[in-house]
Amino acid sequence: MSARIVLTDTTKLAIIEQWEYYAAKQDAALADRLEHAIGSAIESLRESSSRGMGCRLASRNLTSLRWIPVQGFPYRISLSST
């Protein structure tokens, strides 16, 4: 059974802004690679929602927070199972 993934409006906006930045500073092909890499990371979470490294944060409210890398880019996707 696949997990349900919900992207916040802030997350969606951040992805769009990063795409626009790469498209303007480099080219649309790089921006498209970023979009594909993020999509692949999200899809891998949908298939295996237990993936990811635990974040080492002091706050008890954030103990369920994990992250996975976005392959080929200096980004991480943070997630919480709620």
CA distance 7 to 20: 19
Please tell me the predicted confidence (pLDDT) of residue 21.
95
Any alpha helices (H) in the chain, and if so which ranges? 9-25, 28-47
Mean predicted lDDT score pLDDT of the chain: 85
Please tell me the predicted confidence (pLDDT) of residue 63.
75
Higher pLDDT, 4 or 70: 70
Per the CB < 8 A criterion, the answer to whether 77 and 42 are in contact is yes
CA distance 32 to 76: 17
pLDDT, tens digit, 9 for 90 and up, residues 21-61: 999 999 999 999 999 999 998 888 888 877 888 877 778 77
